[in-house]
Amino acid sequence: MKTIEASGLTKYYGSLLAVDNVSFSVKRGEVFGFLGPNGAGKTTTVRMLTGILRPSRGEVRVLGYDMLDEHEKILAREMMGIVPEMANPYVDLTAMGNLRLMGELYGMGKREIEKRALDLLKLFGLYERRKSKVRAFSKGMRQRLILAMALIGDPEVLFLDEPTSGLDVISARMIRDIIRDEHRKGRTIFLTTHNMAEANELCQRVAIIRRGKLVAIDTPEKLKTLGKGLSVEVSFEPMVFEGSAIDSALRVEHRGDKIRIYTDDPDATIRELVRYAEEKGLRIVSLKTLSPSLEDIFVELVGGKDD
């Protein structure tokens, strides 16, 4: 049995087709990334998977339960943890108060809630602040609390809609560490994110959605093989670069303090660059060969002037 199964999932908002006949499945224990540009239909999909929004067409099963059946949906939701897009804890409650409230919603016993809440607070670095009102929490602390709230019921499957959006690198890294730990414990995780490095780092498989349609679904490494090949990135000091430095047929992109050169023969390109640096008396600050990143593939698949 697949943990999540979506088939022919479709959603119209009035005449707007937000999700168009999307089918996929997520295996047990997998971190599955759901990627797409703004407005592609990610949140709409998550809301249908979690039973918050009824599809216009199609079917969703989570842990074998039919999410379109009101009774089965209730059973499934007891085993789901959800971090909605832009979720917020209650700011007039303490961290502990929020966790208690969520535990009660899951129908957990008082003692079980206390124990689980304290464990999660410790795990997420919020224990010292457990009695503070959330109003005084930073965004990163709130997001960790939201994640703890989603985990209070020890769910089999976790749905995270952009859990690191708007966080600084340290806070985002803490959230990613938590996701990795939860994966290690065997939880299935459905993750939407705009951060391609994050998807690459965390996900066993990713799906890419564009204007409501699935355009790719595979492992990050296999998707990368669709890319435009290798490139060499170089930074000189001073940063002087003339077209004559390398084979004029190669595509060159200026990227911040670096130059990226797309080439089928990195060895030859590197030799040319080194020769050029010597000739001009430039110091090579960095020089490396790169394979296409998930972000490169993402841009190739969803980019385009018509967007």
Ligand X SMILES: Nc1ncnc2c1ncn2[C@@H]1O[C@H](COP(=O)(O)OP(=O)(O)OP(=O)(O)O)[C@@H](O)[C@H]1O
125 binds, among Mg ion, ligand X, none (CB under 5 to 8 A by kind): none
- For residue 274 the two structure tokens come to 């080194």
- Residue 57's contacts (CB-CB under 8 Å, 6 or more residues apart) are 8, 9, 10, 21
Please give the structure tokens belonging to residue 12: 């119209």
Residue 15 near ligand X by CB under 6 A: no
Stretch that binds ligand X, among 12-20, 99-107, 152-160, 253-261 (CB under 6 A): 12-20
- The interface partner of residue 18, options being ligand X, Mg ion, none and the CB cut-off 5 to 8 Å by kind, is ligand X
Q: How far is the CB of 139 from Mg ion (least distance, A)?
A: 17
Which among Mg ion, ligand X, none contacts residue 39 (Cβ within 5 to 8 A by kind)? ligand X
Find the binder of ligand X among 8, 27, 39, 257 (CB under 6 A). Answer: 39
Distance CA 257, CA 238 (A): 10
**Residue 188 found at the interface with Mg ion (CB under 5 A):** no
Which stretch in 40-48, 95-103, 251-259, 284-292 sits in contact with ligand X by CB under 6 A?
A: 40-48
DSSP-based three-state secondary structure for 237: strand
Bridge partners of 234, per DSSP, are 259, 287
Interface with ligand X in residues 227-286 (CB under 6 A):
none
Determine the Cα–Cα distance for residues 272 and 279; give it in Å rounded to an integer.
10
| DSSP of 146-187 | HHHHHHTT--SEEEEESTTTT--HHHHHHHHHHHHHHHHTT-
Do 121 and 145 form a contact (C-beta atoms < 8 A)?
no
Among 38-46, 58-66, 235-243, 264-272, the segment contacting ligand X (CB under 6 A): 38-46
Compute the least distance from the CB of residue 161 to Mg ion, in Å: 6
Binding site for ligand X (CB under 6 A): 13, 16, 18, 36, 38-44, 85
In the complex, the residues that contact Mg ion under the rule CB under 5 A are 42-43, 85
